Structure 1
Amino acid sequence: MTLISTTPMLRKAKKNKHGIVAFNVHCFDSIFWVLEAAAELKSPVILQTTVGTVQNLGAKNIVEAAKTAAESYNIPTGLHLDHCTDFDVIKEAIRAGYTSVMIDASMHPFEENVKRTKEVMELAKSLGVNVEAELGKVGGVEDDIVVAEEDAQKAVPEECKLFIEQTGVPTLAPAIGTAHGIYKGEPDIDFDRIAKIAEIVDVPLVLHGGSAVPEADVRRCVSLGMAKVNVSTELKNAYSEAIRKHFEMDPDSLDPRAYLQKAKEAAKEMAKSKIRMVGSEGKVVPSFV
């Protein structure tokens, strides 16, 4: 199986009332252990990269690694460029073979957000590439995009409906109270707002800032219409903490095969817990293959 567009994948998830996790991957080996975790649970999955990861690894290299992994594990796999503000980087990703891109123009006024999203839609739609956009502002840090807590703004349901009508965007990430990174306190998720948005729009919704959100809250978000759940920080932390623990326990054990295997297993378990959380375990069926 090769990489597929996330549009039908997320529509199917929305229809069947489960989520699909989009895992941020930061190195080539993470692409493989995320898909290994998904394959073991028979779950569709989305790999996603930040602009920084694209600049570090190269869009073409990421696509080739993702294609190889998808073919090896035979799992429905999308490849998504997350939180991109640069049209040229979006073009680069699409040309390289990404199956989904996010144009983040949420820091601009509504009309400018519509304009920039439409430009990406014109490029991506004919190629079958999914487009994700954001309304409101999700707080926290995502790559080089920093939104202070006091500047975070929740999406307005009626604007979400109008935005989709004007852009035709097939997936929407409305700000509903979550934040990127690990929370200092309890997340302030506006479930009523999610329900209202889902009631008046017909596209799959995306939950940004899925790391460290209590499982019950994520499940409730999914039940209300959030079909894509983004996870980055927890996965990265599990991987890094395993390496740190390895050297704390045995500082002279310098063989990368030893500490990277421990990191992989820790991250895989974290990935599996998130897949189970959104209810996508066992959702790979013949129609997907």
Structure 2
Amino acid sequence: MPLISSTTMLRQARANAYAIPAFNVHTLEMLQAVVEAASEARSPLIIQTTMGTVKHLGPKYLVSAASVAADQSGLPIALHLDHCTDFALLVQCIYAGYTSVMIDASMHPFAENVRRTAKVMEIAAAAGVNVEAELGKVGGVEEDIVVEERDALLADPEECRLFVEQTGVYTLAPAIGTAHGIYKGEPKIDFARIERIAALVEAPLVLHGGSGIPGEQVKRAVSLGMAKVNVATELRIEFSNAIKQVFGGNAEENDPRKYMVPAKEAVKRLALEKMELCGSFGKADELK
């Protein structure tokens, strides 16, 4: 099965009140881990890469690895470029075979965000590629994109309606109180805001900053209309901690397989937990 656009899977997820987990991966082992978890759970899957990972590994390598995973697993899998502020890189990823891209122009005024998003839509729509955009500013750190807490802005529900209407964007990530990275305290998610946005916007909504949110809060956000849940930081921490544990027991270890295998297993366990929270177990077979 080839890589597919995430548009259909996300629309179906929203219509049936579950979410598709989207995992940021940085190595082949991380990619394999989330695919193995999806195979076990029979879950649709969105594999995500940051701009930094694309620059590090190259879009063609990433598309090739994800394509092999989709073909061998037979699962509905999309490959998504997360938080892209570089138009040229975004276009490069589309031509390389990415099936979903995020144009992040949320740091600009509303009209400029609309203009930049609409420009991406013209290219992506012709290629059958899903487009995600952000409205408001999600706080925290996403690689080299830093939004201080004082600068984080919650999305206005009416602006969300106008934004989707004016851009035609397929999926929307509204800022609703989550943050990138690990939370220092209890997340302050504005559930009433999610509900108001969902009532005005038919497009599937995306929950950014999904690492470390208590399970019941994830489930509630999904029930209100969040059809995609992003997980990045937690995945990196699990992967890195497993490697540290191996070297803690044997500082002289020099066989990458000895530390990559446990790291891969740690990521797979976390991915399965997130799939269960999103309610995506068994949904892959419904998309065929």
TM-score (norm 1): 0.98
1:130 equivalent in structure 2: 130
1:142 equivalent in structure 2: 142
| Residue identity in the other structure for 2:287 | F
Q: Does 1:179 align with 2:179?
A: yes
2:239·2:267 contact (CA, 8 Å) conserved in 1? yes
Q: In 1, distance between residues paired with 2:186 and 2:223?
A: 20
Q: In 1, distance between residues paired with 2:160 and 2:168?
A: 11
Q: Does 1:107 align with 2:107?
A: yes
Q: In 2, distance between residues paired with 1:276 and 1:200?
A: 28
Report the 3-state secondary structure (helix = DSSP H, G, I; strand = E; otherwise coil) of the residue aligned with 2:186: coil
2:29·2:260 contact (CA, 8 Å) conserved in 1? no
Q: In 2, distance between residues paired with 1:254 and 1:118?
A: 49
4+ aligned runs moved over 4 Å, structure 1 = none
For structure 1, the 5+ residue unaligned runs are none
Any idea what the Cα deviations from partners look like across 1:19-78, whole Å, max 9, x if unmatched?
A: 000000111222112101100110001000000000000011100110011111111100
Report the 3-state secondary structure (helix = DSSP H, G, I; strand = E; otherwise coil) of the residue aligned with 2:154: coil
1:253 equivalent in structure 2: 253
Q: In 2, distance between residues paired with 1:235 and 1:116?
A: 30
Give 1:252 deviation, angstroms.
2.6
2:287 equivalent in structure 1: 288
Q: CA RMSD in A?
A: 0.8
Report the 3-state secondary structure (helix = DSSP H, G, I; strand = E; otherwise coil) of the residue aligned with 1:120: helix
Give 1:176 deviation, angstroms.
0.2
2:228 equivalent in structure 1: 228
TM-score (norm 2): 0.99
2:29 equivalent in structure 1: 29
For structure 2, the 5+ residue unaligned runs are none
Q: In 1, distance between residues paired with 2:119 and 2:232?
A: 28
2:155·2:175 contact (CA, 8 Å) conserved in 1? yes
Give 1:127 deviation, angstroms.
1.2
2:18 equivalent in structure 1: 18
Any idea what the Cα deviations from partners look like across 1:70-121, whole Å, max 9, x if unmatched?
A: 1111111000000001110110000000000000000000000000000000
1:216 equivalent in structure 2: 216
2:137·2:152 contact (CA, 8 Å) conserved in 1? yes
Q: In 2, distance between residues paired with 1:138 and 1:181?
A: 11
Identical aligned residues as a percent: 61
2:278 equivalent in structure 1: 278
Report the 3-state secondary structure (helix = DSSP H, G, I; strand = E; otherwise coil) of the residue aligned with 1:223: helix
Any idea what the Cα deviations from partners look like across 1:194-214, whole Å, max 9, x if unmatched?
A: 000000110100000000000
| Residue identity in the other structure for 1:288 | L
1:8 equivalent in structure 2: 8
Any idea what the Cα deviations from partners look like across 1:117-161, whole Å, max 9, x if unmatched?
A: 000000001111000000000000001100001100000000000
| Residue identity in the other structure for 2:24 | N
Aligned length: 288
